[in-house]
Amino acid sequence: MYANVIQHGGIKSQFITATQPLAPLLSRDSFLALSDGDLYNHFYPWRDVFLPKRDTRENEIDSELLPYLNKRGAFEKPPIEEQKRLIGLYLDNSYPILPVVHRDILNQLDSVPPILLNALLLSGVRYDSTLTGKAIRIKADEFKRKCKLLEIVEKNKITLIQSYLLLCAHEESPQGAQISREYLSKANNLVQELGLHIFSSKNQFSFVSAHPGQNGSDPYPNGAASNQKEAFKHFYKKSLLSRLFWISFCCDRVIAVTSCCAMYYNKLDLIVDEPKLEDFDGNRQDYEIFIRWYSNCDLLERIIGVVYRPPGNRYVDYNLERDILQMCRSNCGPQTVELVGDMFARLIVCCNAFSAILYLRSKVDFISLLEDESDTASVVESNSPLTDNKMYYLNKFYKNILNSLKPPMVEHIIVVHSILHVMVLLHLEIEARKEVEVSQVLPDEKNSMSSPLIAKKKMFDKCMKLLEQSSSKWFFGAAAYYLCQELLSKRQAGSQNRSSTDLMSLITDEPCFTTQL
């Protein structure tokens, strides 16, 4: 490859890097390549920029592998009517937070790579109202199985990024969280390999203003190109490339929270503009939904840095509490519903409340669980409004989540996590209030309960119903539902002294729990 570069010096790229030893030989400006390139961005010269066009290469599928894939049905497709219906469900329900393709994808299904097609069908089947929850899982597993087979032979890195980002949102099976992390890691590695996290490097991939191509197709089918450089590229719109990076960024933050893992991207390493309306091809609603989703994910990063990093690596963010509160307030009004639609407005409200609870739960102790958090309680004005009024705001965030989760809903694992965060905190509050009330009342009054305790129990019961609904589509939801159900049945049977730390015994001591899943 490097000999090829030297021989064709006229098509050298402006590689700028302080660490690549061969950069001065590969760059149009050898001396600039010795610097750190702060003013010009960092180009990474190890890409296959100088390889021949894809359609001139020999078929790289192993001759023995192709019959195996055909035998496993990897290339089989549903009828075109079903393809359009399921991808239409994806466009209506998941697309605004996972816009990995263009909106007009239904007009170009014949050119969609097989792995990407199955990933799109997988995203859409979760919303298929004609199927039961069990049937949805079976069909989703079939699409996922095909994606795993087709991954072996797919060489287009943009196609792989698109597919991996869709697959990482499908957290299923006991290893669901681990599998999601693996797919996201693959996507993020390819994003960095192609330089999508660097603003100016996208120009190496996109010439859409002069020569538009569709879905990665080469606009020069006969090999003709206006210059040599263009002949070596696949052609994608800049808007798609920008979206793919920001989708991977948001998934990175969400999966860091839902899977308890480290974040992949460091913002200090990025040279890229924040999402713009132009990145969504002028679709205002898609942009408004995604920018709110991105803002919430960006806030999750700050919450992790302040609360959940190892103690020595945490930092102080004096504006975090006010920003959380402002975000929750700004997205609750009718203006948000008008901009993004009712279903996505409810998703944003749920995610904002989830982020706020994620921050506040570390500040809850036994005494605060007994505080008066009614809507009429006085709010303390301070520079730390959430900390100083934690139970008041927690109660509001509980209600925001529970009121937002009504059909139709966006199917996302963060919804299941939101329900469980509310349930666990309610459980702790109920147990704390019961312990205090039992110690204060007379023996003949022990069957009576205070109105706050009754209200908490009603909210907990509502959470159980929501968790039961999610259990038909999410393994994690089903596992959590049966765990909580077992906990409640044991308490009703007289195990009143079991503490919250004994939850693990329900799994380790009783095989009947796992058989229900």
Q: Are 149 and 74 in contact (CB under 8 A)?
A: yes
Segment 129-136 long-range contacts (CB within 8 Å, at least 24 positions apart): 132/472, 133/471, 133/472, 133/473, 134/472, 136/472, 136/473
Query: What does DSSP assign to residue 271?
Result: B
User: Cis peptide leading into 408, omega within 30 of 0?
Assistant: yes
CA atoms within 13 A on the CB side of 352: 27
Q: How far is CA 305 from the centre of its chain?
A: 18
Q: What is the pLDDT along the chain (517 residues), one digit of tens a residue?
A: 555 555 555 555 555 555 667 666 666 666 555 555 444 444 444 444 444 444 444 456 777 888 888 999 889 999 999 999 999 999 999 999 999 999 999 998 988 999 999 999 999 999 999 988 888 988 999 999 999 999 998 888 899 999 999 999 987 777 878 889 999 999 999 998 887 887 544 444 444 333 444 444 444 444 444 443 333 345 678 889 999 999 999 999 999 999 888 999 998 888 888 899 999 988 999 999 999 999 999 999 999 999 999 989 999 999 999 999 999 998 888 889 999 999 999 999 999 999 999 999 988 888 777 776 665 567 778 888 888 888 889 999 999 999 999 989 999 999 999 999 999 999 888 888 887 765 555 444 444 456 778 888 899 999 999 999 888 888 888 888 988 888 788 766 654 454 444 444 444 444 444 445 5
438: three-class secondary structure by DSSP:
helix
